[in-house]
Amino acid sequence: MITLWELKGREDRRYSVFSWRARLALRHKGLEFESQPVLLSDKKAIEFSGGKTVPVIRDGERVVRDSWKIAEHLEARYAERPTLFGGPIGQGLALAWNAWVDRVVVPAMMPVIVADVHERVDPGDDAFFRKQFEGYLKMTLEESRAQRDKALERLQRALEPVRSTLKRQPFVCGQAPAYADYVLFSPFQWARVMCPLDPLGADDPLAAWRERVLDLYGGFARKVKTA
């Protein structure tokens, strides 16, 4: 059995943007796992991993930290199961895609939802979260909420290239989902679990794509505690 360490919010919400990549990669491979919820501020709980961030998995004797490394590990160790990358070209390109999502989409989503996320983190993370994200944003969470409309516009613009792609094919990876879909899905799931506002309009091709990802694996990502 694989164990996954991931962030725990109020009412047992699972909100870590990067852990959702690992969760869906595990399901894609048809692998069961046991969730180990940890607080954002509790670095002791994952000290064994050699790092300070989740996700971390233990798979037999192997400990792997970082969502990308976890995906690489699962693809290599479970090569006979459904592929996450579809071979070396797809894997290389998925790394470039991952970098785009991390450097463009996640930072664009963050100011849209961060004040709502804060209200739903574990009470033990309240002060830690505020300090970390206010440092990142260079403004208070309250100021960030007041500027949400502008942040939402920036997010919409950043997503434009994907929107045009999803008018032409059902998934980022073509006719069927693969790892690059889970990477892009992760900030939307972060939002869904922690923020009552939907950043996507109902007519957005991204909203229809998100529904398709939510349907996967028996509604695995749908059936969780949301905002």
Please, which residues have CB within 8 angstroms of residue 53's CB and are 6 or more apart in sequence? 18, 46, 65, 66
Task: Please count the other Cβ atoms lying within 10 Å of the Cβ belonging to residue 213.
Answer: 22
Give the dihedral sign, CA 218/209/19/116: negative
Q: 150-169: which residues touch its own copies (CB under 8 A)? A: 160-162, 164-165, 168-169
Candidate ranges 95-103, 113-121, 193-201, 211-219; the one touching its own copies (CB under 8 A)? 95-103
Smaller CB distance to its own copies: residue 32 or 175? 175
Q: Which of 163, 141, 161 is nearest to 151 (CA)?
A: 141
CB of 214 to its own copies, least distance (A): 19
In angstroms, how far is CA 226 from the centroid of its own chain?
Answer: 14
Of the candidates 41, 42, 102, 128, which one interacts with its own copies according to CB under 8 A?
Answer: 102
Alpha carbon distance, N-terminus to C-terminus of the chain: 30
Q: Exactly one of 175, 202, 203, 223 binds its own copies (CB under 8 A); which one?
A: 175
Which run of H or E residues covers position 37?
Answer: strand 33-38
Cα 42 to its chain centre, rounded Å, is 20
Rounded Cα–Cα distance for residues 223 and 220 (Å): 6
When the beta carbons of 52 and 157 are compared against its own copies, the nearer one is 157
Q: Is 104 in the site for its own copies (CB under 8 A)?
A: yes
Stretch that binds its own copies, among 13-21, 40-48, 98-106, 203-211 (CB under 8 A): 98-106
Which one of the spans 19-27, 40-48, 81-89, 205-213 is the region binding its own copies (CB under 8 A)?
A: 81-89
Site for its own copies contains 213 (CB under 8 A): no
Residue 35 engages its own copies in binding (rule: CB under 8 A): no
Using the rule CB under 8 A, is 182 a contact of its own copies? no
Dihedral, CA of residue 137, residue 138, residue 141 and residue 147, to nearest 10: -80
Is 205 a residue that touches its own copies (CB under 8 A)? Answer: no
Judging by DSSP bridges, how do beta strands 2-7 and 33-38 pair with one another? parallel
Which residue in the set 15, 18, 129, 171 belongs to the binding site for its own copies (CB under 8 A)? Answer: 171
Chain residues that interact with its own copies, rule: CB under 8 A: 83, 85-97, 99-100, 102-104, 160-162, 164-165, 168-169, 171-176, 178, 180
